[in-house]
Protein backbone atom coordinates (compact mmCIF):
# COMPACT_ATOMS: atom_id res chain seq x y z
CA UNK A 1 0.00 0.00 0.00
CA UNK A 2 1.13 3.56 -0.69
CA UNK A 3 0.18 6.99 0.57
CA UNK A 4 -1.81 8.81 -2.14
CA UNK A 5 -0.71 12.31 -3.18
CA UNK A 6 -2.29 15.29 -1.45
CA UNK A 7 -4.06 16.39 -4.62
CA UNK A 8 -6.03 13.15 -4.92
CA UNK A 9 -9.63 13.57 -3.78
CA UNK A 10 -10.20 10.42 -1.74
CA UNK A 11 -13.95 11.02 -1.72
CA UNK A 12 -13.87 10.86 -5.52
CA UNK A 13 -11.41 7.94 -5.55
CA UNK A 14 -12.19 5.97 -2.36
CA UNK A 15 -9.80 3.10 -2.96
CA UNK A 16 -6.69 1.71 -1.31
CA UNK A 17 -3.59 2.34 -3.42
CA UNK A 18 -1.31 -0.65 -3.93
CA UNK A 19 1.90 -1.26 -5.86
CA UNK A 20 3.19 -4.04 -8.08
CA UNK A 21 7.00 -4.18 -8.15
CA UNK A 22 7.91 -4.81 -11.78
CA UNK A 23 11.53 -4.73 -13.03
CA UNK A 24 10.59 -1.74 -15.21
CA UNK A 25 9.23 0.24 -12.24
CA UNK A 26 6.63 0.36 -9.49
CA UNK A 27 3.11 0.13 -10.88
CA UNK A 28 0.18 1.56 -8.95
CA UNK A 29 -3.10 -0.33 -8.88
CA UNK A 30 -6.36 -0.65 -6.97
CA UNK A 31 -8.02 -3.94 -6.05
CA UNK A 32 -11.48 -3.61 -4.52
CA UNK A 33 -14.26 -6.05 -3.63
CA UNK A 34 -14.68 -9.79 -3.99
CA UNK A 35 -16.26 -12.05 -6.58
CA UNK A 36 -15.87 -12.40 -10.37
CA UNK A 37 -12.95 -10.34 -11.64
CA UNK A 38 -13.30 -7.14 -13.65
CA UNK A 39 -9.89 -5.98 -14.92
CA UNK A 40 -9.98 -2.39 -16.20
CA UNK A 41 -7.31 -1.38 -18.75
CA UNK A 42 -6.92 2.32 -19.57
CA UNK A 43 -5.41 4.27 -22.45
CA UNK A 44 -3.80 7.71 -22.69
CA UNK A 45 -3.68 10.11 -20.83
CA UNK A 46 -5.97 8.17 -18.51
CA UNK A 47 -5.26 6.16 -15.36
CA UNK A 48 -7.21 4.10 -12.84
CA UNK A 49 -8.95 7.27 -11.60
CA UNK A 50 -10.97 7.27 -14.82
CA UNK A 51 -12.64 3.96 -13.89
CA UNK A 52 -13.79 5.11 -10.46
CA UNK A 53 -17.51 5.16 -11.33
CA UNK A 54 -17.83 1.55 -12.56
CA UNK A 55 -15.49 0.35 -9.82
CA UNK A 56 -17.66 1.93 -7.13
CA UNK A 57 -20.75 0.47 -8.79
CA UNK A 58 -19.43 -3.09 -9.05
CA UNK A 59 -17.15 -3.59 -6.04
CA UNK A 60 -20.08 -4.90 -3.96
CA UNK A 61 -20.51 -7.83 -6.37
CA UNK A 62 -17.18 -8.12 -8.19
CA UNK A 63 -13.46 -7.89 -7.60
CA UNK A 64 -12.57 -4.70 -9.45
CA UNK A 65 -8.91 -4.21 -10.42
CA UNK A 66 -7.35 -1.31 -12.30
CA UNK A 67 -3.64 -0.76 -12.85
CA UNK A 68 -1.85 2.39 -13.98
CA UNK A 69 0.47 1.62 -16.87
CA UNK A 70 4.11 2.56 -16.49
CA UNK A 71 4.37 6.31 -17.10
CA UNK A 72 0.74 7.04 -16.15
CA UNK A 73 -1.25 7.92 -13.06
CA UNK A 74 0.56 7.11 -9.83
CA UNK A 75 2.96 4.58 -11.38
CA UNK A 76 6.66 5.26 -11.87
CA UNK A 77 7.63 7.37 -14.88
CA UNK A 78 11.24 6.46 -15.71
CA UNK A 79 12.91 8.75 -18.23
CA UNK A 80 14.06 5.86 -20.40
CA UNK A 81 11.16 3.46 -19.83
CA UNK A 82 9.83 1.18 -22.54
CA UNK A 83 6.43 2.70 -23.25
CA UNK A 84 5.53 0.73 -26.38
CA UNK A 85 2.14 -0.96 -26.59
CA UNK A 86 3.90 -4.32 -26.61
CA UNK A 87 5.84 -3.51 -23.43
CA UNK A 88 2.66 -2.38 -21.68
CA UNK A 89 0.99 -5.65 -22.73
CA UNK A 90 3.92 -7.70 -21.40
CA UNK A 91 3.75 -5.89 -18.06
CA UNK A 92 -0.01 -6.46 -17.95
CA UNK A 93 0.58 -10.19 -18.39
CA UNK A 94 3.13 -10.13 -15.56
CA UNK A 95 0.59 -8.33 -13.37
CA UNK A 96 -2.11 -10.92 -14.11
CA UNK A 97 0.32 -13.69 -13.23
CA UNK A 98 1.44 -11.87 -10.08
CA UNK A 99 -2.12 -11.71 -8.76
CA UNK A 100 -2.97 -15.16 -10.17
CA UNK A 101 -6.12 -13.77 -11.77
CA UNK A 102 -8.52 -16.37 -13.18
CA UNK A 103 -11.71 -16.15 -15.25
CA UNK A 104 -11.22 -12.46 -16.00
CA UNK A 105 -13.65 -10.09 -17.63
CA UNK A 106 -11.53 -7.49 -19.40
CA UNK A 107 -12.78 -3.90 -19.63
CA UNK A 108 -10.65 -2.07 -22.21
CA UNK A 109 -10.69 1.30 -23.94
CA UNK A 110 -8.41 3.46 -26.10
CA UNK A 111 -4.84 2.01 -26.15
CA UNK A 112 -6.07 -0.41 -23.48
CA UNK A 113 -7.53 -2.54 -26.26
CA UNK A 114 -4.22 -3.63 -27.68
CA UNK A 115 -2.68 -3.78 -24.22
CA UNK A 116 -5.36 -5.77 -22.41
CA UNK A 117 -6.67 -7.99 -25.19
CA UNK A 118 -3.21 -9.48 -25.70
CA UNK A 119 -4.00 -11.64 -22.67
CA UNK A 120 -7.23 -12.80 -24.29
CA UNK A 121 -5.38 -13.70 -27.49
CA UNK A 122 -2.73 -15.67 -25.62
CA UNK A 123 -4.98 -17.16 -22.92
CA UNK A 124 -8.60 -17.18 -24.17
CA UNK A 125 -9.41 -19.93 -21.67
CA UNK A 126 -8.72 -17.46 -18.83
CA UNK A 127 -11.02 -14.73 -20.14
CA UNK A 128 -14.67 -15.03 -19.12
CA UNK A 129 -15.82 -11.94 -20.97
CA UNK A 130 -14.72 -8.81 -22.83
CA UNK A 131 -16.14 -5.30 -22.53
CA UNK A 132 -14.55 -2.96 -25.04
CA UNK A 133 -15.42 0.56 -26.11
CA UNK A 134 -13.80 3.28 -28.21
CA UNK A 135 -10.68 1.25 -28.86
CA UNK A 136 -8.93 -0.59 -31.70
CA UNK A 137 -6.56 -3.50 -32.26
CA UNK A 138 -5.40 -3.22 -35.87
CA UNK A 139 -2.65 -1.23 -37.67
CA UNK A 140 -3.44 2.44 -38.26
CA UNK A 141 -0.55 3.24 -40.60
CA UNK A 142 -2.66 3.28 -43.78
CA UNK A 143 -5.42 5.46 -42.30
CA UNK A 144 -4.51 9.11 -42.82
CA UNK A 145 -6.95 10.17 -40.10
CA UNK A 146 -4.45 8.65 -37.66
CA UNK A 147 -1.19 8.57 -39.62
CA UNK A 148 -1.06 12.30 -40.41
CA UNK A 149 -1.19 13.53 -36.77
CA UNK A 150 1.09 10.65 -35.75
CA UNK A 151 3.76 11.92 -38.15
CA UNK A 152 3.54 15.31 -36.44
CA UNK A 153 3.89 13.61 -33.06
CA UNK A 154 7.11 11.96 -34.27
CA UNK A 155 8.67 15.34 -35.19
CA UNK A 156 10.55 17.76 -32.93
CA UNK A 157 7.43 19.91 -32.88
CA UNK A 158 5.30 16.99 -31.72
CA UNK A 159 7.78 16.18 -28.99
CA UNK A 160 7.58 19.81 -27.84
CA UNK A 161 3.77 19.73 -27.85
CA UNK A 162 3.51 16.52 -25.85
CA UNK A 163 6.34 17.02 -23.38
CA UNK A 164 6.44 20.76 -22.71
CA UNK A 165 2.82 21.72 -23.26
CA UNK A 166 1.11 18.48 -22.21
CA UNK A 167 -0.83 18.26 -25.46
CA UNK A 168 -2.35 14.89 -24.63
CA UNK A 169 -3.92 15.84 -21.31
CA UNK A 170 -4.43 19.58 -21.86
CA UNK A 171 -5.75 19.59 -25.44
CA UNK A 172 -6.64 16.14 -26.75
CA UNK A 173 -8.46 14.95 -23.65
CA UNK A 174 -11.01 17.80 -23.41
CA UNK A 175 -11.28 17.87 -27.18
CA UNK A 176 -12.33 14.21 -27.24
CA UNK A 177 -15.35 14.77 -24.99
CA UNK A 178 -18.78 14.87 -26.56
CA UNK A 179 -19.63 17.63 -24.08
CA UNK A 180 -16.60 19.42 -22.66
CA UNK A 181 -18.60 20.67 -19.69
CA UNK A 182 -18.64 17.12 -18.35
CA UNK A 183 -14.88 17.37 -17.83
CA UNK A 184 -14.99 19.61 -14.78
CA UNK A 185 -11.92 21.48 -13.57
CA UNK A 186 -11.77 19.29 -10.47
CA UNK A 187 -11.84 16.05 -12.49
CA UNK A 188 -9.45 17.35 -15.15
CA UNK A 189 -7.00 18.33 -12.40
CA UNK A 190 -6.61 14.64 -11.46
CA UNK A 191 -5.26 13.92 -14.93
CA UNK A 192 -3.16 17.09 -15.20
CA UNK A 193 -1.52 16.62 -11.81
CA UNK A 194 -0.63 13.04 -12.66
CA UNK A 195 1.35 14.45 -15.63
CA UNK A 196 2.67 17.76 -14.25
CA UNK A 197 5.83 18.33 -16.30
CA UNK A 198 7.87 17.22 -19.31
CA UNK A 199 9.70 14.47 -17.44
CA UNK A 200 6.37 12.87 -16.46
CA UNK A 201 4.88 12.95 -19.97
CA UNK A 202 7.27 10.60 -21.78
CA UNK A 203 4.69 7.81 -21.96
CA UNK A 204 2.02 10.03 -23.54
CA UNK A 205 4.44 11.07 -26.28
CA UNK A 206 5.59 7.48 -26.76
CA UNK A 207 2.02 6.26 -27.31
CA UNK A 208 1.40 9.04 -29.83
CA UNK A 209 4.41 7.69 -31.73
CA UNK A 210 3.04 4.17 -31.40
CA UNK A 211 0.17 5.05 -33.74
CA UNK A 212 2.71 4.35 -36.49
CA UNK A 213 5.32 2.26 -34.71
CA UNK A 214 2.99 -0.36 -33.22
CA UNK A 215 1.54 -1.35 -36.59
CA UNK A 216 3.30 -4.76 -36.74
CA UNK A 217 2.21 -5.60 -33.18
CA UNK A 218 -1.43 -4.69 -33.84
CA UNK A 219 -1.28 -6.49 -37.18
CA UNK A 220 -0.27 -9.72 -35.49
CA UNK A 221 -3.04 -9.26 -32.94
CA UNK A 222 -5.70 -8.67 -35.59
CA UNK A 223 -4.65 -11.78 -37.51
CA UNK A 224 -5.63 -13.77 -34.41
CA UNK A 225 -8.99 -12.04 -33.82
CA UNK A 226 -10.80 -15.37 -34.34
CA UNK A 227 -9.49 -16.45 -30.92
CA UNK A 228 -11.91 -14.01 -29.32
CA UNK A 229 -15.05 -15.19 -31.09
CA UNK A 230 -16.00 -17.73 -28.42
CA UNK A 231 -15.68 -15.18 -25.60
CA UNK A 232 -18.87 -13.30 -24.65
CA UNK A 233 -18.29 -9.68 -25.65
CA UNK A 234 -19.94 -6.32 -25.16
CA UNK A 235 -18.97 -3.61 -27.66
CA UNK A 236 -19.85 -0.09 -26.55
CA UNK A 237 -19.26 3.15 -28.41
CA UNK A 238 -19.43 6.84 -27.60
CA UNK A 239 -20.85 8.21 -30.83
CA UNK A 240 -19.47 11.74 -30.39
CA UNK A 241 -15.89 10.49 -30.26
CA UNK A 242 -13.73 12.92 -32.24
CA UNK A 243 -10.69 10.62 -32.11
CA UNK A 244 -12.07 7.27 -33.28
CA UNK A 245 -14.58 7.40 -36.16
CA UNK A 246 -17.72 5.23 -36.29
CA UNK A 247 -16.18 2.86 -38.82
CA UNK A 248 -14.01 1.51 -36.01
CA UNK A 249 -17.19 0.34 -34.30
CA UNK A 250 -18.31 -1.29 -37.55
CA UNK A 251 -15.00 -3.10 -37.83
CA UNK A 252 -15.38 -4.57 -34.35
CA UNK A 253 -18.94 -5.67 -35.08
CA UNK A 254 -17.87 -7.38 -38.31
CA UNK A 255 -14.93 -9.13 -36.62
CA UNK A 256 -16.95 -10.24 -33.58
CA UNK A 257 -20.47 -10.91 -34.93
CA UNK A 258 -21.48 -12.74 -31.73
CA UNK A 259 -20.96 -9.60 -29.64
CA UNK A 260 -23.65 -7.44 -28.08
CA UNK A 261 -23.36 -3.82 -29.25
CA UNK A 262 -24.47 -0.74 -27.31
CA UNK A 263 -24.04 2.87 -28.42
CA UNK A 264 -23.89 5.96 -26.21
CA UNK A 265 -25.20 8.74 -28.46
CA UNK A 266 -24.11 11.73 -26.33
CA UNK A 267 -20.73 10.43 -25.18
CA UNK A 268 -17.38 11.08 -26.77
CA UNK A 269 -14.18 9.10 -26.31
CA UNK A 270 -14.17 8.73 -22.52
CA UNK A 271 -17.41 6.81 -22.05
CA UNK A 272 -16.54 5.81 -18.47
CA UNK A 273 -16.47 9.52 -17.59
CA UNK A 274 -19.14 10.98 -19.87
CA UNK A 275 -21.82 8.27 -19.77
CA UNK A 276 -20.81 6.21 -16.76
CA UNK A 277 -24.40 5.60 -15.63
CA UNK A 278 -25.38 4.23 -19.03
CA UNK A 279 -22.16 2.23 -19.26
CA UNK A 280 -22.78 0.68 -15.83
CA UNK A 281 -26.32 -0.34 -16.86
CA UNK A 282 -24.98 -1.93 -20.06
CA UNK A 283 -22.30 -3.75 -18.08
CA UNK A 284 -24.84 -5.01 -15.55
CA UNK A 285 -27.03 -6.43 -18.30
CA UNK A 286 -24.04 -8.06 -19.98
CA UNK A 287 -22.59 -9.52 -16.79
CA UNK A 288 -25.99 -10.90 -15.78
How far is Cα 251 from Cα 232, in angstroms, rounded to an integer? 17
Annotated catalytic residue 110: yes
Catalytic residue from among 42, 68, 241, 272: 241
Give the strand order in the sheet containing 127-135: 18-22, 25-32, 63-67, 37-41, 104-110, 127-135, 233-238, 260-264
Annotated catalytic residue 82: no
Catalytic residue from among 28, 269, 272, 276: 269
Pairing of strands 104-110, 127-135: parallel
Catalytic residue from among 110, 119, 205, 272: 110
Of 15, 32, 69, 16, nearest to 194 by C-alpha is 69
Report the Cα 208 to chain-centroid distance in Å: 14
What positions carry a catalytic annotation? 110, 241, 269
Amino acid sequence: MITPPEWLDECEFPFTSRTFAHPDGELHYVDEGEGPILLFVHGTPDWSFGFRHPMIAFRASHRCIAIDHLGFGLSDKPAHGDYTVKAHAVRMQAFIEHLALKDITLVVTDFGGGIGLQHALEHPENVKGIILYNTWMWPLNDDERFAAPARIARSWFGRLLYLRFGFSVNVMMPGAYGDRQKLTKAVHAHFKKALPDASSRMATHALAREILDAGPFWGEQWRRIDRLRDIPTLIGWGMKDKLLPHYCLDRWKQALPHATARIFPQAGHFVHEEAHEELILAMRAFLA
